[in-house]
Amino acid sequence: MAVVAMTGGATGIGAALKEQLRSQGDTVIVVDLKAADIVADLSTSEGRQVAIDGIKAASPDGLDGFIPCAGLGPHVGDHPLIARVNYFAVIETVTGLRDWVARKKGAILLVSSNSAPMMQNENEFVQLCLDGDEESACRLIAGLDGQTAYAGAKRAITMWMRRNIHDYARGGVRLNAVAPGFTRTPLTDAGMDSEYGEAMKQFAEMIPVGREGQPEDIANVMRFLLSPEADFVCGSVLFVDGGSDALLRPDNF
């Protein structure tokens, strides 16, 4: 059975994936702010190192998979916090655990979003993220809106993934990303009560398949991408959004 580590496994999509993996006999090591095997604050470099060290201690032979699933929505008022958790924590934990996943020729699965295509590659915030300049990115985003912080961070991690697949694959590590659409979780519930609530409601009503996503919908696909059956899938961004991305960008794929 596989040994997998993840951040953000206490609620939402992460919790659904955790339960699915454990139900098939896998060992899942969870990092979160609470209700986790390793309690760590991923908004700080110190917390990220606690997560990395704790995961390595709990998996001495290496990892079959790693999923940095912890994230914050655009409704969070502290926009630099969104950047720190949604981008910089992801990259720091992925790079810190790269060798551990390579030990077992495993997979790293990022969580993007169907909001990512809404940002341009040339966006200054996106570029600062990709440059690894955390403090400059956070200073910039403090004066911008939450959607730019959220979508920009998701755009940046997706671009980072695509840019790094060759180096990682040569070491035996597959990089992929899943891009959820509107999914009913505690995170989206909080967003529905914010200034973004009406826009989120309208977006949910537009989903082509006619319903909102559930955490299990996303976890089903994530579980496949982590599995040996997906061994030839590398560098892919898989939209799991009920058709929303195709509706909004029919000629882009």
152, burial (CB in 10 Å: exposed 0-12, middle 13-18, buried 19+): buried
User: What span, in angstroms and rounded, lies between the C-alpha atoms of 88 and 136?
Assistant: 12
Active site residue 168: no
Neighbouring C-beta atoms of residue 142, cutoff 10 Å: 13
Task: Give the active site residue among 87, 150, 168, 196.
Answer: 150
Angle between helices 12-23 and 215-226 (to 10 degrees): 50
Helix (H/G/I), strand (E/B), else coil: 238 = strand
Angle at 6 between CA 24 and CA 253, to 5 degrees: 90
Neighbouring C-beta atoms of residue 37, cutoff 10 Å: 15
What are the catalytic residues?
A: 150
